[in-house]
Structure 1
């Protein structure tokens, strides 16, 4: 992993402003600046791991906290009953552009199928 600081690390350090939705000692959730749904919140661990596989191998408990925070975000945003999607993009072909693991919490409207073949 590069030593270069990621955008998310700068948001966590409060060097770059973000609309924080939820925060714990180890996780931060904030609105995506380029939302792909009515509700689009990113959930990031405050410690940097490149992707979800690296996080799972290093700290399964923290991965559980990220998933729990995604559920809390859905609750706070009022989308638990209608449904929501949690997505981790891993590497460039999947659309990962910031190499600090993050979960996308999407909802608040009917979401289309994703991927080339749908459902």
Structure 2
């Protein structure tokens, strides 16, 4: 799969971004258009377009992304107040960048879904 997007450029550090966490599998950084006081994106470093592209070979990445979300929540002390984890899939699901990503939202009481 050969494609470039803003997330790949952030992973490669070609675009300045406030990276919160990075290892061999995952990068986490502050969203440039936050929807809550704390809005962090967690993405796989491997190119995976959406949740529809999760398969037997890469299925562990989702668990690792959630593990990193919890680790970040504890590090920044919002794990006790609560947070929301959201993954959008494709256009109708609200996904705007064709790269699997998880939103970690916190810092206020988050509204209920309809």
By the TM > 0.5 criterion, same fold?
yes
Q: CA deviation at 1:57?
A: 4.5
Output the CA distance in 2 between the equivalents of 1:48 and 1:55.
11
RMSD: 1.4
In the alignment, is residue 61 of structure 1 matched against residue 60 of structure 2?
yes
Shift of 1:56: 4.8
Instruction: Kindly report which structure 2 residues correspond to 1:1-119, keeping only aligned pairs within 5 A, or say none.
Output: 3-114=2-113, 117=114
Q: How far, CA to CA, are the matches of 2:111 and 2:31 in structure 1?
A: 19
Separation in 2, partners of 1:75, 1:49: 27
* Count of residue pairs the alignment pairs up: 114
| Greater fraction of residues in helix | 1
Residues 19 and 30 of structure 1 are in contact (CA less than 8 Å); yes or no, is this contact kept in structure 2?
Answer: yes
User: In the TM superposition, what whole-angstrom CA distance separates every residue of 1:1-28 from its partner, at most 9, and x where no partner exists?
Assistant: 6x33011000000000110111222100
Gaps of 5+ in 1: none
